[in-house]
Amino acid sequence: MRHWKRWFTLIGVVLVMFATTFVWIAWHSLSSEWRTEAGAAQFALNHSPLQQLTGHSVFTGAGVQEVFIGKDTFGRIWYAFVYGSPYIVKSVPATGVWSAARMNQLLSSQHIKPVHLSLGYLDAANRKSFHITTDVIWECYVHLPSGVPAYVYYDAHSGQKLATYILSASPFGQLTQNFN
């Protein structure tokens, strides 16, 4: 009976150690991301018209960007795109930008099933490399009517389709580009 008590105690101690290690690793993994987001949020508040943040997302279509939505002193809604190292912020009034709901309607009208939408900003270098003039775009991960997954990019000001990247059905996931 004594041997069983020792084994149960040893197993309990080992399980507590594993749980503690897991929590410690998860905390350190997530806390660095939270510090990055908090720093970008503070930068957006300090260097844009935003006085209050109401939302946040991440855009990865042209490098990692922290995208914040919020209100200015007068209650107007703005987007702030924070990117680069050191941080650069670009602010855009939301009045001229298509909403996610409007993008979902556009995609549905084309019989395209939206999976995930991301709003992002293209700086001058990225606009030049993509041969476009718009600065704010919607990156839409979708399933086309044929069921094939794709990334479709739209001008966030006009809703005009900019490019489609069809994800290949091959096991290597190659991309093919179809520019419009």
The structure tokens listed for 112 are 């395209």
Q: Are residues 84 and 108 in the same domain?
A: no
Boundary (domain end) residue, out of 71, 95, 119: 95
Q: Please, is 119 exposed, middle or buried when counting C-beta atoms within 10 Å of its C-beta (0-12, 13-18, 19+)?
A: buried
Write out the H or E segment, with its range, that includes residue 124.
Answer: helix 124-130
Do 122 and 77 have their domain in common?
no
* Residue 120: domain span: 97-179
Q: 136 and 153 share a domain?
A: yes
Q: What is the CATH number of the domain that holds 175?
A: 3.10.450
pLDDT of residue 170: 58
| Same domain, yes or no: 78 and 162 | no
- Verify that 49 and 117 share a domain, yes or no: no
User: Of the residues 72, 95, 118, which one is the last residue of a structural domain?
Assistant: 95
Last residue of a domain, one of 79, 95, 111: 95
90 and 163 both lie in a single domain:
no
Give the total number of structural domains in the chain.
2
Distances (CA, A) of 17 to 3, 7, 25, 166: 21, 15, 12, 46
Residues 78 and 12 in one domain: yes
pLDDT at 90 over 90: yes
The answer to whether residues 13 and 89 belong to one domain is yes
Each residue of 7-42: pLDDT tens digit? 878 888 778 887 787 777 766 666 666 788 888 999
Co-location of 70 and 110 in the same domain? no
Using one digit for the tens of pLDDT, what is the confidence trace for 143-167? 999 889 999 999 999 999 998 888 8
